[in-house]
Amino acid sequence: MPVKIGPKDALIIVDVQRDFIPGGTLPVPEGDRVVPILNDYKDRFLEAGALICATRDWHPRNHISFKEQGGIWPPHCVQNTQGADFHPALEIPDQARVISKGTEPGQEAYSGFQGTELEESLRRQGVERVFIGGLATDYCVKETVLDAIRLGFRTFILEDAVKGVDVNPGDSERALKEMVGAGAVKVRVLDISI
Ligand code: VGL
Ligand code: ZN
């Protein structure tokens, strides 16, 4: 569906980091495919005067989600390691807000809103609608979208710029259905005008 964007909109790029792309420690299949499309979204949002946010998983070495701490994931996105860097081809403008999450050793945080300044950044800017894409559809994208809806933002999911882990086959499809069922609206980059 066509959407005209402006200064009260925000683009939220979720966790496009080296460890989540093929070659990383927790690779999302085809995770790197979202990068050029997210760069296109970024160009449009920048031109529209919209806010741009990029979340990153930013775990301490002993994070509770890691297998050796009893969690389900291999170590990933450890603070200040190369695996935690944004994908080198992802274009992050200087004025973008970088939001670090999952920084507490004892707490998992899939949502970009959990324990972060993301909501405050959006409110301060008067943002009413958020457009969310990145990795992974079935974890951090999903939880960020569901929180955005709960917080009252009109929420769009970038269906051409998300990829999932699919620990169980079909997880990403189910996640998309759940987001849409909760009120998210699917958009594609060609739907976006300024
Ligand atoms: C994520 C698993 C563990 C994500 C983060 O960004 O979707 N998935 N930590
Ligand atoms: Zn994580």
Domain with residue 71: its CATH number is 3.40.50.850
Mean pLDDT of 152-175: 98
C-beta of residue 55 within 8 angstroms of C-beta of residue 101: yes
C-beta of residue 83 within 8 angstroms of C-beta of residue 73: no
Is 140 among the catalytic positions? yes
Q: Is the pTM of this model over 0.95?
A: yes
Range of the domain at 31: 3-193
pLDDT of 29: 97
pLDDT of 1: 74
Mean pLDDT of 34-60: 98
Residue-wise pLDDT for 116-130, tens only, equals 999 999 999 999 999
> What does pLDDT average to over the chain?
98
Rounded CA separation 174/20 (Å): 20
Is 191 among the catalytic positions? no
3-state secondary structure of 174: helix
Residue-wise pLDDT for 78-118, tens only, equals 999 999 999 999 999 999 999 999 999 999 999 999 999 99
Residue-wise pLDDT for 132-151, tens only, equals 999 999 999 999 999 999 99
Is 101 among the catalytic positions? yes
Which H helix or E strand runs over 52? strand 51-57
9, 138, 140, 142: which is the annotated catalytic residue? 140
CA of 20 to the centre of ligand 2 (A): 9
Domain count, the chain: 1
93 CB-contact burial (10 Å; exposed 0-12 / middle 13-18 / buried 19+): exposed
Whose tokens are 């403008």? That residue is: 93
Rounded CA separation 28/58 (Å): 17
Q: Which residues surround ligand 2, an ion (CB under 5 A)?
A: 57
Whose tokens are 């389900």? That residue is: 72
Ligand whose nearest atom lies closest to the CA of 136: 1
3-state secondary structure of 164: coil
